[in-house]
């Protein structure tokens, strides 16, 4: 058991019978009212994000998961295939476990698969990933950084907004937590 005031980003807790990964925590004490912990959490079963407020005196179940290193191999109609880097066993996971991380998976990418009760429950990917732009409007010559953005389709099928100077064939660094452009990579 864990008191709500001890919640931190990255922890995994059990809430309403499901497992959740805590993304952000904000301790709020509004005026003369009781303190609360405003959290943003991701459901590990279906990948949905929720906002929830826990009372400061509330107790939660902290869950310990095992993280095992895998390499992403490929995706097909049967699922997403990974290889254990220790014993070279292969594992196929469905979309319900992989969730939104499928938009950032590229072959030979090192990932960590989370296990709870000997079952895979989620895939952890790096905070940033370098992806190739496969389709976008032509780049504008002498375009400097501006607030105007254009859509770009990446090699994984993900569509993000990029600055006007990014063209087809460029590699871009993408923030995997928010799905947004960070910078162009040489």
pLDDT over 60 at 145, yes or no? no
∠ CA 64-15-126, nearest 5°, is: 50
- Domain at 92, CATH number: 2.40.50.140
- Domain at 37, CATH number: 2.30.30.30
Task: Let me know whether 118 and 151 are in one domain.
Answer: no
User: Of 11, 44, 62, which closes a domain?
Assistant: 62
Tokens 């064939």, residue located: 169
Task: Let me know whether 84 and 133 are in one domain.
Answer: no
pTM of the model: 0.71
Domain containing residue 88: 66-124
Answer for the pair 166, 139: CB distance below 8 angstroms, yes or no: yes
| Nearest-angstrom CA–CA distance, 16 and 42 | 13
Task: Let me know whether 90 and 42 are in one domain.
Answer: no
Task: Let me know whether 49 and 76 are in one domain.
Answer: no
Q: How many domains does the chain have?
A: 3
Can you tell me the mean pLDDT for 36-50? 83
Name the token pair of 135: 């389709």
Q: Name the helix (H) or strand (E) containing 96.
A: helix 95-98
Q: What is the pLDDT of residues 120-136, one digit of tens each?
A: 888 888 889 999 999 98
Task: Let me know whether 116 and 137 are in one domain.
Answer: no
* Beta-carbon count within 10 A of 92 CB: 12
Q: What is the pLDDT of residues 83-125, one digit of tens each?
A: 999 999 999 998 878 877 888 999 999 999 988 888 888 888 8
The residue length of the chain stands at: 186
pLDDT over 90 at 42, yes or no? no
Task: Let me know whether 143 and 106 are in one domain.
Answer: no
Residue 96: phi and psi, rounded to 5, are: -65, -25
pLDDT of residue 17: 84
Residue 71: phi and psi, rounded to 5, are: -110, 135
């Amino acid at each position: 058991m864990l008191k709500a005031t001890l919640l931190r980003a990255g922890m995994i807790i059990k809430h309403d019978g499901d497992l959740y990964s805590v993304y952000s925590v904000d301790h709020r004490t509004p005026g003369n009212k009781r303190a609360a912990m405003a959290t943003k959490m991701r459901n590990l079963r279906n990948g949905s994000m929720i906002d929830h407020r826990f009372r400061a005196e509330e107790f939660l179940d902290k869950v310990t998961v095992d993280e095992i290193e895998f390499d992403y191999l490929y995706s097909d109609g049967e699922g997403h295939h990974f290889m254990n880097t220790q014993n070279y066993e292969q594992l196929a996971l469905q979309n319900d476990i992989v969730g939104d991380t499928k938009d950032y998976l590229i072959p030979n990418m090192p990932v960590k698969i989370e296990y709870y009760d000997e079952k895979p429950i989620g895939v952890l990917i790096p905070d940033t990933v370098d992806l190739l732009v496969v389709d976008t409007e032509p780049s504008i010559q002498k375009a400097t950084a501006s607030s105007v953005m254009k859509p770009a389709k990446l090699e994984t099928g993900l569509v993000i907004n990029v600055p006007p100077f990014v063209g087809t064939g460029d590699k871009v660094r993408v923030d995997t937590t928010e799905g947004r452009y960070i910078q162009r990579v040489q």
